[in-house]
Amino acid sequence: MDRHIKANRDLWDEWTLMHEDSKEYDVEGFIKGKQTLDPIEVSELGSVKGKSLLHLQCHFGLDTMSWARLGADVTGVDFSEKAIDFARRLSNRTGIKAEFIHANIYDLPNMLDKRFDIVFTSEGVLVWLPDIVEWAKIISRFLKRGGKFYIREGHPFSKIFDDEIKTCEFKIRYPYFTPKHPFHFRGAETYTESTRKIEPMDWYEWNHSVSEIINSLIKAGLRIDFFNEYTYISSKVFPFLIRREDGNWTLPRDMGEMPLQFTLLATKV
């Protein structure tokens, strides 16, 4: 296994344990019936009742099982064994029917022989993928002809700026286009509050431009139905963002506007 992927997998195994009891994931709320999908996702993807849905990079499956609650026949995939184990336990505890597969998505074609009506993925996944062209091929591989791929993701443009700066200003820190080598990070915290502590760990990320994402999907045989951009996002990606009444985060009014997330729907032709 590539050392970058292995480091990231080990990180997500530890992050899973930190996320299980975090306020942000609110697992107990989910068990009681809470919906975890973003309203944009539900609105733009439309009814999933009676449809088969493959969720790539599903973590421990809250969104996966939320789609099941809306009537989809769901399969979730993640490279963290601890995340998949927890997803299966939650499925059993809630009685929500869902299949969960422990796999790096690049290995998935060797482990799963099925086509789906929908392939879904959501915020915070693309930076963990070194090869976006192969990612698009895998999406196409698992879609039925006429099937839909949907993604809601942080906007690549927003990822070029320093996300640790303390002042209310933008400072370019990272390249926009995919670098030759991944960005290296090291730390002992996750993006949620947690009582669990870990030793500092290494991880690696890759940025992918909008053109690379779209062109990879087109080359893989998908037709782009829409590409939408939004000035708000569900996570606080910069320390100076302000929270809206709906819980999303956006720039202070005096800083103007910029795209913080995008959504894309594509059809396999």
Q: What is the pLDDT of residue 163?
A: 83
Report the Cα 254 to chain-centroid distance in Å.
30
Mean pLDDT computed over every residue of the chain = 94
Domain extent listing, the chain: 3-268
Q: What is the pLDDT of residue 262?
A: 98
Q: What is the DSSP letter of 178?
A: P
- For the entire predicted model, the pTM comes to 0.94
- For 84-113, give one letter per residue: b (16+ CB within 10 A) or e: bebbbebbeebebebbbbbbbbbebeeebe
Instruction: Write the pLDDT tens digit of every residue in 215-248.
Output: 999 999 999 999 999 999 999 999 899 999 999 9
Q: What is the pLDDT of residue 99?
A: 98
Burial class (CB in 10 A: 0-12, 13-18, 19+), 197: exposed
Residue 263 above 80 pLDDT?
yes
Instruction: Write the pLDDT tens digit of every residue in 139-198.
Output: 999 999 999 999 999 999 999 998 887 777 888 999 998 878 899 999 988 888 777 888
Q: How many helices (H) and strands (E) does the chain have?
A: 7, 12
Beta pairing class for 52-56 and 116-121:
parallel
Determine whether domain 3-268 maps to CATH 3.20.20.70: no
Helix 3-19 and helix 81-94, axial crossing angle in degrees, nearest 10: 40
124: left (phi over 0), alpha (psi -120 to 50) or beta: left
